Structure 1
Amino acid sequence: MSQRFTPICSVDQILPNTGVAALVEGRHVAVFRIGNDRFHAIDNIDPRSGASVLSRGLVGNLGERVVVASPLYKNHFDLQTGECLEAPEQSVRAHAVQVQDGRVLVALN
């Protein structure tokens, strides 16, 4: 089964080391730009609160992992895997991201 990629925005609409929220096939997704050319997407819903806020979290590193800290409870989510480092049972899904012709596209996993 091939993945269906949904256009989200232009690359320039996501500032480096920040995220944006998008609705992909009815699912709340957070899309992050790391540096100038790396992009990641995870579910945007904070599993602890149920709020759609992960795209507003602070991006950083914990060791070798690139993470976002939830703005509500400060749990850290690995941007490659969606794993919640403090409580793995609260992990979120990670999604595929592509950049084509200056546009960011996401496919749900």
Structure 2
Amino acid sequence: MEQQELKFSLAQRATKTQQLNTLVSWLKGKADWQSSSAITTALGLHSRTIRSLANQSDGLIISAQGTPGYKHITNCTIAELEMVMAKLDHATQELAKRVTAIRKRYHARHTA
């Protein structure tokens, strides 16, 4: 059973790598921001998959909450990159606050 799971995991990883390479190449050929619906129509990827691939792209696929979609880094202006980095920094700070609040409640619950 472990052998089958390993084979599935390797096949799944290869598929994700292929999807990532396809998405990166496709975006590189597009000068404008591409919405997830446009990517879904063109490449057949689910919006969650697109988001996951962007997170795994090692900075090649640019996106953040509040941007018009996804863009290859080579097609971004300096202003766009600075805007996305600021949005991601803000989101990181908000998540850190959330973790701190949860941690406080966790400790209060388990030390009482």
TM-score bucket (shorter structure): under 0.3
TM-score, normalised to structure 2, is: 0.26
Provide TM-score, normalisation by structure 1: 0.26
More contact order relative to length (CA 8 Å, sep ≥ 6): 1
**Structure (1/2) with the larger strand percentage:** 1
